[in-house]
Structure 1
């Protein structure tokens, strides 16, 4: 963590990271040294607090076995596919993008 990061909250660091580039929760967890479930908690708040000139975007989780991608909760990691019951679900990918 750089000295500049020391003054920012975890949510601010997540939001800044997602403004720079897309990321999965596991990537954010590794980069910010916080557990994945904590990242998911923060993502809910980051999504709600995106500025009026921003969009919080989510590439949904996907089942590599059957291609299902219509999961209900886009701010969490599903445990299994509702179609084929596979547990090999690819993580959702998050990004914050300006609307200009």
Structure 2
């Protein structure tokens, strides 16, 4: 059986930049990094990197709904990092909700 040559990966054509797309989506509703990743078509890690830049560029208008432990209810109110924490400091559970983001 003859193998077909692999086609190179061609990224989707974009009208706006990734950050412009993220900004438009976050103005409409609160979304998690995972949801944004699916909508924009980039990895969750890349979304978090873009959100860090947006937080600076928007001068504090990027709001984060903090993650919360599903076991004990602990809320990560003072957390500055945008990434979801690995485990709860109170009960050590790994069942934690994803933070969601909006733009005021």
TM bucket by the smaller chain?
0.7 to 0.9
Deviations 1:42-78 (A, max 9, x none): 1111111116xx7211110010101111252341111
| Bigger Cα displacement from structure 2, 28-37 vs 5-14 | 5-14
Q: Secondary structure of the residue that 1:94 maps to in structure 2? A: strand
Residue 45 of structure 1 corresponds to: 53
Residue 86 of structure 1 corresponds to: 93
Structure 2 residue runs of 5 or longer lacking an equivalent are 1-12
Larger strand proportion, structure 1 or 2?
1
Aligned Cα root-mean-square deviation (Å): 2.0
Residue 74 of structure 2 corresponds to: 68
Residue 9 of structure 2 corresponds to: none
